[in-house]
Structure 1
Amino acid sequence: MPSSTSSSESLRGQRRESAERLTAADRPGVAQPVPVRPVPDRPWVPMLWVALLLFTVLLTAWEWRMRTLGLEAGDLEDGGSAWAEQRRRIDAGDVAVAIVGDSRILFDTDMDRFQQLTGVRPVQLALPGTNARPFLHDLAGDPDFHGLAIVGIADRSYFRDEAGLMGDALDVYHYEAPSRRSGLLLQRVLERRLAFLDDNYRLSTLVHRLDPDTRPGASSPRYDVWKLRVSGADRQSSMWPRIETDRPLREHARAVWMPRAGQPPRPPPSDPVIARTLALTREAVSRIRARGGDVVFVRPPSAGALRIGEERSLPRRRGWDPLLRAAGVRGLHFEDYPAMRGLDAPEWSHLSRRCATVFTDAYVRELARVSGRLELRADGPRPLGPADCETQLD
């Protein structure tokens, strides 16, 4: 009769032959290397070529599909790292003009036109959905900045305590991990060549938007802000052309800005919030002027039902006018200048590309007249007007 020891050894030998690997369990008490599994005999090189071909075909098909939807290679993703990169330009040299604000002054400033008119290219520090005031205070506390700060505001965005959607950009500026900065550089290399990398049209984002909103109380992607803009290397931003031509997308954007059906409108800013806003703004302006700088406020256009709701919620006599008086600053409100009125705001909150150029032309010329910090070039382009915009959409 075979011993139990010989039986167990026989079983281990069979197991080793069937599994075709060596493990430490096969030789108790003897140190063993990492288990080895032999590579099966397969046509690996042809398989690799097939996988590569399949990947290339699928990638090309997806890129083609995204371009048919209006996405563009060279439309660079914006975010905290891109903002911090521009903010560091103030630390590195003498910046004559910096723009802070929300998405309206971001979309509605054509920096090429600004440069053609004045020879100065501003640093674009405006952020979508974000209160301009913390960023104005950041400039006020920076001894390297003694230029002109252009503060673009949407009234309800500025008269609030919260920083807003991208308030953490200042944290990124003060400390940005090397991996995050290098990731931005790598991402740009790819985005300059591939359109499908747009965050708004990632497959996961598109699948999320299929949510039919059937669960009571659940947040639906239909109320999210979808793609609205195209951005360049120095954060030059403009409206995505498809918003101008695609009626369903345009109507979706309009719906996002308005109160949802069955929900009450947002309450207007309280008196204490307005008082704090005025006091903090006055302080920031005083600190910038003490270093030889200056501040000018700009109120870009809005239109339609959105503009009506804004005026009801925070009329000029309660927000804009007291702000200018309290801070002792100049202000350019689009309703006060014929060249800034009647411009095409397809989704009511931001101007079309061509009208953004017209608005920039108008407000830069007025800045040169009232601020004393800018001069128009003698060889600059001719003035533009509302007639230079595209036909206004429904």
Structure 2
Amino acid sequence: MQSKALQTNPAKEKQQQHRADTARPRHLLPGLALCCALALAAMLVRHASGIAALSPLATAMVLGIVLRNVRVPLAFAAPGITFSLRRVLRFAIVLLGFQLTLTQIATIGWHGIVVIVATLAASFVVIRKVGALLGVDKALSELIAAGTSVCGASAIVATNTVTRGSDEDVAYAIACVTVFGSISMLAFPPLAEQISLTPAEFGLWTGATIHEVAQVVGAAFQGGTEAGQTGTVAKLSRVILLAPLILTLGTLATRTRAGQDAGGSVPMPWFVLGFAAVVLVNSVLSIPAEITRQIATWTTFLLTMALAAMGLETDIAKLHLKGLRPLLLGAIGWIFISVFGLALILWLQMPGFAG
């Protein structure tokens, strides 16, 4: 069991959010500037390294953790950090909707949709169950499940708006999806050759099972253009399932709190409905490709700011106290989603998908 010191205090969280919402702009500026600087640094690291699959989100979080834990005074930046972690994050999730259309989802066919939905649902449920068996805290299990089954770091920070795990829970879960997603990115291409997957099957496998979008792209395009396009669309199709997942978790959490008379309820995640609405708008309107690319760049930047803020609020000492069982849970989840997704693809004998 997680100690009381490590649990999220809903009253404290509400108070922090209220301070962020009511703070004057000049009070927000130092924290926003700090998160912005860390986000820029993280994106420059990826650009300088030449490694396209290097996630700036994870890099920004690490930079934030370093600053927090070398005891740099951060009180002056607290309102802006909280604002980045709440409002900036939610706005970025809404903007994610511009990266997906219903037409794109249709191109992978009903076979692909079955694989994606079944793999996501089975992985989420199994990881939560295994987490309970291992004695991993429920909130942390839920975050690892979301990051593994949906879309990595973005899913973790979005899911935490209703799960309400600690900042250390979020950091640990992101570390898991970063490590195991990177292993998949390196291991899947040679494995696909050994088992003679077609480009479409390989692309679907990567898109339905690898954690981060960048990791999917890095793996899928090693199998050629068709595999890369299929993998990207499959992955983005998983992203849209983030909306119903968070709404479901929020409803269940509200009912649980009401049953336990815990005082207070989980807020309705309206930003998720905004995400779904943007997907619908993007499906109906013809938005120029250049504008879509610009929005995608800004979305990544805002998400990176939010992860920098998360790092700035993460205490390594508390992270260390969680032990290795959550890491084992992440490994089990990674193996399960990889094997289950591949088995389902082979069982359905997937036809070739249009790019």
Q: TM-score, normalised by structure 1?
A: 0.25
Q: Per residue, is there more strand in 1 or in 2? A: 1
RCO higher in structure (CA 8 A, sep ≥6): 2
Q: TM-score, normalised by structure 2?
A: 0.27
Q: Per residue, is there more helix in 1 or in 2? A: 2
